[in-house]
Structure 1
Amino acid sequence: MSKLDGNERWKTKMVLTEHVDQYDQEIKAEGAGNKILTVEERTMVRDLILLPYIETMVDKSLREIELSGSILKRAYLMAGQSIQRRITQDTYQLKKELKQRNIKVVPDEQEEFLVYHKIFCRGRQERFGLTRDVMRTEISLRLTQYTAELGMTLKNHFK
């Protein structure tokens, strides 16, 4: 049953049967979820949007550390570079996975508190927005995760 069943105006329009069939197939396909983003794909898009911001923050911190006179400067730089490599790997994997799923993310516009991106997903276009507060929170959580992973790696290495 399509959305047009029961609509009296639809019955008075001249439409070729193949167009009606095509419309019905599109509705069924959307219902199956193959054209709209899944929750997992939305999470991947969000992460792909946030990772360049995280990389910029880590890069800025590394430049500040290089200028510092700390005796642990070398250790901090190595840790930061390790996190930076992990961010680059994650960005590459996300781009690869989204490309396989036929999803493309393009920056759109920035308003005062919102950052928008256009998502081209399997022939459809969608607008995806993130507030700056959400971005800050997610970036903080992600940096904490990267730091914890590095800590676990070091801890396991020195056991």
Structure 2
Amino acid sequence: MTTDEELNDINTYILLPMILGMIDRWMSYPDITPLKHLHSSQFQQLLDMITLDHVEVKQKLKAADIKVVEDWKIGSSLDYKIFARRKEESFMIWKGWAKSQIETLLGQYVGKLDKRLFKRQADVVVEDKPIDRSLFVNFD
């Protein structure tokens, strides 16, 4: 039976390669990605940080005698088999939850980057247009 800490490590072990693949694809066309504010050198920094964390988690799982194997099925979940200390367990991650965790992890890694290198977005000029006050509703 795996512990909660080991389950967290397994989640991280599964999600980090997905983030690495996304960033690798986004490096080619950074202007149309959610990370368009990053400098081109920061993409490599992100890859390096995530790769180091993935290797660290992989080593922790190997030291705990845990192996994770994908059990591919069509559906709304990511299914895995966990072989922990000669016992087999099924493990499932819902794709919506995985997406939210990927966004959270990616945000944490971007937060570690040097913000002085971020690209400045063009200042948006808002024109003063007359407002039709008859469209507003007064609830008093």
TM-score normalised by L of structure 2: 0.74
The structure that has the greater radius of gyration is: 1
How far does residue 128 in structure 1 lie from its aligned partner after superposition?
Answer: 0.7
Q: Kindly report which structure 2 residues correspond to 1:10-89, keeping only aligned pairs within 5 A, or say none.
A: 36-65=1-30, 76-89=39-52
More helix by share: 1
Q: Distance in 1 between matches of 2:18 and 2:73?
A: 14
The runs of at least 4 consecutive aligned structure 1 residues that moved more than 6 Å come to none
Match of 1:99 in 2: 62
Give the paired residue count.
Answer: 112
Aligned CA-pair RMSD: 1.9
Please give the per-residue CA displacement for 1:12-70, whole angstroms capped at 9, x wherever unaligned: xxxxxxxxxxxxxxxxxxxxxxxx100000000011001111001111110113xx6xx
Q: Distance in 1 between matches of 2:46 and 2:58?
A: 18
Unaligned runs of 5+ in 1: 1-35
Identity, % of aligned pairs? 30
> Offset of 1:112 from its aligned partner?
1.9
The structure showing larger relative contact order (alpha-carbon pairs under 8 Å, at least 6 residues apart) is 2
TM-score w.r.t. the length of structure 1 is 0.66
**Partner of 2:110 in structure 1?**
147
How big is each residue's C-alpha offset from its partner over 1:83-121, in whole Å with a ceiling of 9 and x where there is no partner? 111111011001101000000111111322111011000
Q: Which residue of 2 aligns with 1:15?
A: none
